[in-house]
Amino acid sequence: PVWYQRITSIVAMLMGFNGQMRNQDTVIESEGFLFIPNAHSLQVVGTSSLTHTIEDLSSHKKVQLCKAVLPINFPGQLTSLVNHVVVRGFDWEYGEEGGGAGSLGIILSEEPWAGHPNAAVRVYWLGNKVSGIYRYGYIGQYDVVLATDAITGHEQLVVQNSSLSVRHSSDSVPQSLKFAGHNSLTVNNLPSLHTDYTLQLSIRRQNQVNNEHQCLGQITSSAGWWMRLTVDGKKRLQFYLNTTQLEQTVCPKALDLSSWNQVDLCLFGSYIGIHVNGELCHNFKFTERLKCFEGASTLTLGEALDEAHKSWTGEIRNVRLWDAPMHMGVYYSQIFQRNYNMIDLGKTTPMTLDRLAAQSLKGLPTKNLSGQALEQVSLYRNFTVRNEHSDFASLRPRGVGVLSSACPHGKVYYELKLLSCSCLQLGWSFGNCHIESRDLGIGDCKLSFAVDLCRQSMWNADTIEITEAVWQPGDTLGCLLDWKNGEMMFSLNGRVLINASFKRDENNSMEHQSPRHGSELDGMGALFGLSDGEEEEFYETEEEVVEVIPVEAPIEGPIEAPIEAPIKPEPSDSQPTPNSWVDQGGIFPSGSFLTGDGAIWNLGQRPFEHLPEGYVSVMTAAGVPQNSAVVFEIFDFDEMSWQPVAFRHGVQDINPELLGEWLYSGVSTDSTIIPDTSRYNHDGVLKVAGEWTPDNETSLKLKCRPHFAKTTSEFEMPHRFLPPHSAFDIVHNKENEELVKYVNYVCDQEEWISDTLFTKSWSDIAPSSDALVRWPQLAKLCEQDASALSLRFGILVEFNRSVTLLLNYVSLAADRAPTSLASWIADARGMIFGVVKFELWNAQVVATATPASERTITLSRPKAARSRLLDPNRTNPFALFAQAYRAMTTWSPSAFCSNGSLYKVTFLGENAIDGGGPYRETFTEFCSELLSPQLPLLLPTSNGQHNVGHFRDAYVLHPTAHVHHSGMLTFLGKLFGVAIRTKGFLSLNISQIIWKQLVQDHITLEDLESVDALIVSSMRSIRDIEKNGITQEMFTDYITETFTTLSTDNRIVNLVPNGDTVQVTFDNRHEFVAAIEQYRLHEFDAAVEAVRRGLGMVVPLKYLRLFTWMELESMVCGSPFVDIDLLKKCTEYSSCSATDVHVTWFWGVLEAYSQDARRAFLRFVWGRSRLPRTLHEFQLGQRFKIQAFDRRPADNYMPVSHTCFFSLELPRYTSREVLEARLTYAIYNCQAIDGDGDTMAANQLGWED
């Protein structure tokens, strides 16, 4: 069902983000036995061209897996919905609209729904000829669903067991054909290869050949032309074309012939592309290419047919011949410098060769469609044009039109059902019409005529403005031609357009007249190409009113062969009307389409919707049977001529056809014939003079994926949870997370909600090149592929739109196994936009809020001060935090859930009246006490205690606070919740390891390094000690540790029972390292759980797991303010002064920075993210130091920081702009602390005191 499809789609994204699919696959590289414990079933996917026998070892059932083409993670997705067949979906709610249950429809275009782009489709119903817009993905609803199966793209099978065996089939061992210079392989009677094709083959030549120019193969034609592929003495590929003259081109890449090389030779139009091992190495345009005329072709491999070249003396294998250029996407981007198939419609990148090959071989299998329905669908699909490359594509049907003045029908007609219509020019053209450039189309030359109701214009060389109804997708445009009377008209949905028409004038000139408003038709010169001075007689008829009458005529008989040449009707008994248009090659239905635009042509192959009385179809006028297939032609700007539409043009749904493949053979090696696997009859065999030998280098490449849950059918399993794009892979998470942070930043600046964000494209929010310096991962992606960010953004928008649906089925509050759906969603928290999370969160916070109370507490600041003065380094039982905790112990949790002030405070012995200020002062005091020895809840991190690493100013929970002070920890959690509800932020700097545990995120060694960099570094050194030359014999001389560690509060902790007596050895060092890391990562677990318990009493935990630790920190602590004025007051200078111009620029840049940038600067120069709160606290510690940096030229250097000494070496830059650019780059991209360990170098700076 559709709801299940929606769920599996979002789960696929989650599994990709979390690496679930990536880590479970087992690669099978050899024959043998495979066992995966606890697996309910094993899914096997092939990536090699071998045939394998897979055996279920429990049932002994054997299954053949043959010639799988694509890798396991290839998704079965469609590149476009347009022109696909649909039926009613599960969310249908429109009664009998569309013709009733079981009716078939064609998707005309993708449409927005309720402001969501591409969330609906426009469907044309074949039964009752009506169209409408229906939901297709809008908040997970589908009014219609596809009636055809998507391509899976790879072979697979499922073994319902946890074990299997893999064996090569006896006849599938790859073979290669050895050539000795006198033998060959010949394929006769191939179809004509005068147009586009791809020849694939693998070659190897291990013997040494001195400067011989050898022939790999050639194609000869009965039409007299030939093509040849050779390897010259420098091991370069050369290609020859001989028509009326000989042309050749040389690929500059020298081949390594000692190993196999996959060579793809692609011909497209006048061009040739040569690929080696998948890389485009050379391309060339042949001036004589179009002189290759149609004729039966013969392929010969290995033999030289003239004395100019020697025969091949190497091996050839894996020969494939296609009737299309299989690398067309590469050519459009690299050769033609255009983006093939990259129209801005949210589509994926062009198909790779492997994916295209799989689609071509498998086709599009249909389900639940009868033969009659399939025939009906083909009448639409085969006549659909949709431009998917960047030319203004001009097309017309070949041989269908008014072909001569002998045509017995004076009035002809055709229709176009519009798919998308942003920029179309539709009408008629003469056979001799020639379009001059890519941005011109039908109507832009004298020999063509067109109308565009979107731009309100019509054309015949010149542009004429008109006023008519604007056409929309789904409309039907009718084109009426009365060639005898010289009249051309258009209709829209059956209504004749009186302001959009052409008419031949009395002078038969080529000049047209402007249209007149009214019922009369307009004049136009020389509709049929009469030159000035030519005198012709025309039948004169009275002006008649055109009445549109729908005609329903059944189509009978099979579809005949396509029309390859114009079919001229037999002349009638009557004298044909004199008309010189025949000199212009006939007149044909024609149209030009901008990228993304399209239409379905009706030339008379099916009933018209609005056939005017007295008119016949253009097919009838041309004498073409109604059930004939029609070939369209396109004006090819690379050839500058009309060419039959081919796969390379990207305007029709054309799949390449595999003409033949000769991969390997199971016959004996002395055989002189091999089986013919092509799709054409060559008497069943190929003529071979040579020897097939086994190829022992080809390895078995299968992947096995275990499934641990039972499914109802093995057919559910193959690709339902495959991530839809490689960008979902876990290896890209850091890039995706930074992209999400950037999107959050834009949303904050623009104050967007999620619905607004989902309507934006990447171009609406993309950062400028200057702004990218703040986002290093995004800058890196831009350098690699400028389109990557747009694709990532589109994927993330779709993910966020879908995840809101999934949350209706999942309880995030409950703790589940790591593989549960709740855990997968939580693990993908970094991919969820902030606006999505906060909309869900704020709704929950409002729903659980309680009315503000008038509770009052009394606190004594003198008592707290006296107790602190007795011993500042011991716990203060009368700290204000402790007093408040005792005062509120009996309060119910609901008392903390108000969105207003928690209480009103009275300071004992003080006259302050709480209007809000004293209340906020209490929280400031609480934070000051928490970050001091007065309270036993928080400790400085080990980095802070030892003054090393990053985040030295951060605090962690006391690892034993839960033992004696669990109530106070719970109270701290409640205050966290109050801060979230009231936005009364707490001035605390707590380590990320604590925040991560509060949101139940995974903690890693990176988090431990933010707390204790020394322990991480030490453990890394012990784990890899052998890399430093320390052997097992030497180990005890360097390492004298026992299985103990020092906790954050400086207690010695046994890692194992009696660990202080267990010596660390070379053999058990990994166990020792793992034990320390596990303890240090989890020493705060119990304390964190007490805080989280209090937090859950105040705010709903259901959606807390959606937030990152940084988001939770900002919800509790806000954004700490970095006071630049305070920093100035606590700065000293060396070899420079505060009045130096570059120092003045420096302070100006800092003042212009945002708070985020200021914190990044502090991390760069001090390893901290916050300044001391007061001048007094600053003066008790380190002062900021600025020192001159006198290397020249200064603009070539970056500023240098020394975090141990809170100092900055600042070059004397030549301008403020250069200073800002260098400093900004440094603070965001130079995070390593490399100089701190060099004490001598640091002392030389003069800061040893």
| Nearest CA among 697, 699, 701 for reference residue 44 | 701
> Which has more pLDDT, 24 or 927?
927
Distance CA 532, CA 587 (A): 20
What's the pLDDT at 258?
87
Mean pLDDT of 259-265: 90
User: For 560-571, what is the mean pLDDT?
Assistant: 43
Average pLDDT over residues 260-280: 90
Question: Which segment of 45-54, 628-637, 719-728, 1181-1190 scores lowest on mean pLDDT?
Answer: 719-728
**Most confidently modeled range among 312-316, 601-605, 1241-1245:** 601-605
pLDDT over 80 at 207, yes or no = no
Among 164, 211, 192, which Cα is nearest to 35's?
164
Q: Is the pLDDT of residue 694 over 60?
A: no
pLDDT exceeds 60 at position 1098: yes
pLDDT of residue 76: 34
pLDDT given for residue 44 in this prediction? 67
Question: What is the spatial distance between Cα 1205 and Cα 1208, in angstroms, rounded to a whole number?
Answer: 9
pLDDT of residue 1210: 94
**Residue whose pair of structure tokens reads 């318990």 in the numeric block:** 1093
750, amino acid identity: E
Whether residue 750 is predicted with pLDDT greater than 70 in this model: the reply is yes
Contact 799, 831 (CB under 8 A): yes
Q: What is the pLDDT of residue 546?
A: 38
The label of the residue with tokens 């003469």 reads 430
Residue 806 or residue 731, greater confidence: 806
> Could you tell me the CA-to-CA distances from 500 to 417, 426, 466, 964 in Å, in that order?
18, 12, 7, 89
- Estimate the share of the chain in helix, then strand, then coil, as percent rounded to the nearest 5: 30, 25, 45
Please state the rounded mean pLDDT for residues 1112-1128.
83
The confidence score (pLDDT) of residue 1061 equals 92
The whole-number average pLDDT for the span 543-553 is 38
End-to-end CA distance of the chain: 73
Question: What's the pLDDT tens digit per position in 388-415?
Answer: 776 789 999 999 999 888 888 989 999 9
The angle, 0 to 180 degrees and rounded to 10, between the axes of the packed helices 733-750 and 776-784 is: 110
Among 235-239, 322-326, 779-783, 1066-1070, the range scoring the smallest mean pLDDT is: 779-783
pLDDT of 975 higher than 60: yes
3 state SS for 964-1005: HHHHHHHHHHHHHHHHHHHCCCCCCCECHHHHHHHCCCCCCH
Residue 326: pLDDT above 50?
yes
Choose the weakest-confidence range: 189-198, 311-320, 334-343, 950-959: 334-343
Left (φ > 0), alpha (ψ -120 to 50) or beta: where does 910 sit?
A: beta
Q: In the prediction, which pLDDT does 612 show?
A: 94
Q: Render pLDDT for 493-512 as a digit per residue (tens, 0 to 9).
A: 999 998 888 887 665 444 44
The type of residue at 904 is K
- 117: CB partners within 8 A, 6+ apart: 346, 758, 759
CA distance 998 to 1094: 11
Indicate if the pLDDT at residue 159 is higher than 60: yes
Q: What is the average pLDDT score of the chain?
A: 76
> How far lies 503's CA from each of 449, 525, 1136, in Å?
11, 7, 85
pTM of the shown model: 0.50
Q: How many Å apart are CA 45 and CA 848, to the nearest integer?
A: 50
- Residue linked to tokens 């040569």: 274
* Pick from 211-225, 554-568, 865-879: least confident: 554-568
Which range of 127-136, 300-309, 312-321, 989-998 scores highest in mean pLDDT? It is 989-998
Alpha helices of 611-678 — where are they, by DSSP H? 618-621
Radius of gyration of the chain (CA): 39
pLDDT of residue 1083: 93
- Whether the link from the prior residue into 1193 is cis, omega within 30° of 0, is yes
| Known catalytic membership, residue 433 | no
State the pLDDT confidence band at 563, using cuts at 50, 70 and 90: very low
d(CA 1050, CA 692): 74
**Helix/strand/coil for 1093:** helix
Q: Are 1105 and 995 a contacting pair, CB within 8 Å?
A: no
Distances (CA, A) of 233 to 153, 178, 262, 264: 40, 20, 19, 20
Is pLDDT larger for residue 339 or for residue 240?
240
Q: What's the confidence (pLDDT) of residue 969?
A: 95
Residue 54 pLDDT? 58
The pLDDT, as a whole number, for residue 638 is: 75
pLDDT higher than threshold 80 for residue 1173: no
Q: How confident is the model at residue 45 (pLDDT cuts 50, 70, 90)?
A: low
> Residues 479, 704, 927, 1204: which is the catalytic one?
1204
pLDDT over 60 at 917, yes or no = yes
Residue 943's DSSP bridge partners are: none
Helix/strand number for the chain, H first, E second:
31, 58
pLDDT, greater one: 88 or 676: 88
The answer to whether the CB of 703 falls within 8 A of the CB of 72 is yes
- 803 token code pair: 């995840």
Q: Is the pLDDT score of 531 beyond 50?
A: no
Give the residue, 707 or 856, on which the prediction is more confident. Answer: 856
Instruction: Give Cα separations from 1122 to 73, 738, 775, 1053, 1154 (angstroms).
Output: 47, 23, 21, 39, 9
